[in-house]
């Protein structure tokens, strides 16, 4: 099945804990310099700097009227309160942040984020009027034990449980096999496509046909050399890009995957 036209490709750069605010400004400026109107027509482009850089990058995007979307890598699920060191979804929304990565495997593994926390954050991001990029994916052990489909099914069901269909339809999902993140190993396009097909089937069971409008990204060692092959797959609607998004040349090539 061909990709429905409403699923416009989306390339989101997850900068993780890289680039201070001077570097972040330079990178977004260089990226904008390399991209043309056509590129934005073919593909939505989002950068997700560290929390401390969001304000600087937002200011540059707005003052230079860039067509680049702004994303955060995390937020707390409460609106406000005694949560030292945390930032809430409404605070991000106030700064014109449009996307928030939720439940990245690094947060799940290193910062103890459970499926329940991921679900709360997904709801908080939606309530603040932003788009959650909800991540799921299996470990190498799980893959070898052929538990990939069970793992992503559990994660997706937990993240979207009780959220109304229209809201789920407004989300982005990222399938990121943990063993492929930052390792140089990529899932084969066929494997990634098959797992994303499973994710979409689960979403369809939960919310019906609106699931066919949800953009599901692949993440894990995406680079200019493999993005074309991944994007040729019918279920893959874009990429969540870590390492290769740090370099504006590479990220621009990824955005231009068609050429
Ligand atoms: P990577 O990271 O592209 O460096 O593998 C992807 C991610 O974690 O989002």
129-167 pLDDT, tens per residue? 999 999 999 999 999 999 999 999 999 999 999 999 999
- Which sequence spans correspond to the domains of the chain? 10-17+44-78+85-255
Band (258; pLDDT cuts 50, 70, 90):
confident
Q: Closest residue (by CA) to atom 3 of ligand 1?
A: 242
How many angstroms separate the Cα of 229 from the Cα of each of 83, 195, 226, 257?
Answer: 43, 16, 6, 9
Mean predicted lDDT score pLDDT of the chain:
96
Centre of ligand 1 to C-alpha 178, Å, is: 9
Q: What's the pLDDT at 6?
A: 77
**Fold of the domain built from segment(s) 10-17+44-78+85-255:** TIM Barrel (3.20.20)
Percent of the chain with pLDDT over 90: 94
Nearest to 220 by CA among 195, 244, 248: 244
Residue 252 CA to residue 34 CA, distance in Å, equals 6
Q: Which residues are catalytic?
A: 104, 176
Q: What's the pLDDT at 185?
A: 83
Specify which residues 48 forms β-bridges with.
Answer: 14
Residue listed under structure tokens 């954050």? 121
Q: Closest residue (by CA) to atom 6 of ligand 1?
A: 242
Q: Closest residue (by CA) to atom 2 of ligand 1?
A: 242
Q: Closest residue (by CA) to atom 9 of ligand 1?
A: 242
Centre of ligand 1 to C-alpha 184, Å, is: 9
- Alpha-helix runs per DSSP H in the chain: 21-34, 37-42, 54-63, 89-94, 105-110, 115-127, 140-144, 148-160, 165-169, 189-207, 224-231, 248-255
Q: What's the pLDDT at 63?
A: 97
pLDDT beyond 70 at 1: no
Q: What atom of ligand 1 comes closest to residue 223's alpha carbon?
A: 3
160-215: per-residue pLDDT in tens?
999 999 999 999 999 999 999 888 888 899 999 999 999 999 999 999 999 999 99
Are 101 and 73 spatial neighbours (Cβ–Cβ below 8 Å)? yes
Centre of ligand 1 to C-alpha 29, Å, is: 22
87-97: per-residue pLDDT in tens?
999 999 999 99
Find the residues whose C-beta lies inside 6 A of ligand 1: 14, 176, 181-182, 219-222, 240-244
Strand 172-175 to strand 215-219: parallel, antiparallel, or no bridges (unpaired)?
parallel
pLDDT beyond 90 at 99: yes
Q: What atom of ligand 1 comes closest to residue 14's alpha carbon?
A: 9
Band (2; pLDDT cuts 50, 70, 90):
low
Decide: pTM greater than 0.95. yes
Q: What's the pLDDT at 259?
A: 45
Residue 242 CA to residue 233 CA, distance in Å, equals 20
Q: What's the pLDDT at 127?
A: 98
57-98: per-residue pLDDT in tens?
999 999 999 999 999 999 999 999 999 999 999 999 999 999
């Amino acid at each position: 099945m061909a990709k429905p036209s409403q699923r416009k490709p989306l390339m989101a750069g997850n900068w993780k804990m890289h680039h201070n605010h001077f570097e972040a400004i330079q990178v977004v400026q260089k990226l904008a310099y390399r991209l043309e109107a056509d590129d934005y027509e073919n593909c939505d482009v989002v950068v997700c700097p560290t929390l401390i850089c969001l304000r600087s990058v937002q200011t540059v995007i707005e003052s230079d009227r860039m067509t680049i979307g702004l994303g955060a890598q995390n937020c707390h699920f409460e609106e406000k309160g005694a949560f030292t060191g945390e930032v809430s979804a409404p605070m991000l929304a106030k700064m014109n942040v449009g996307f928030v990565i939720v439940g990245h495997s690094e947060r799940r593994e290193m910062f103890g984020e459970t499926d329940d926390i991921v679900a709360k954050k997904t709801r908080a991001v939606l309530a603040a009027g932003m788009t959650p990029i909800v991540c799921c994916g299996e470990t190498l052990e799980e893959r070898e034990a052929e538990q990939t489909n069970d793992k992503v099914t559990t994660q997706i069901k937990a993240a979207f449980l009780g959220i109304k269909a229209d809201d789920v339809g407004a989300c982005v999902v990222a399938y990121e096999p943990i063993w492929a993140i930052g390792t140089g190993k990529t899932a084969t396009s066929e494997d990634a496509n098959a797992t994303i097909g499973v994710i979409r089937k689960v979403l369809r069971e939960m919310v019906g046909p609106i699931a066919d409008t949800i953009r599901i990204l692949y993440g894990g060692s995406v680079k200019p050399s493999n993005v074309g092959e991944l994007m040729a797959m019918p279920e893959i609607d874009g990429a969540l890009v870590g390492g290769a998004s740090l370099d504006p040349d590479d990220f621009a090539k990824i955005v231009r995957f068609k050429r």
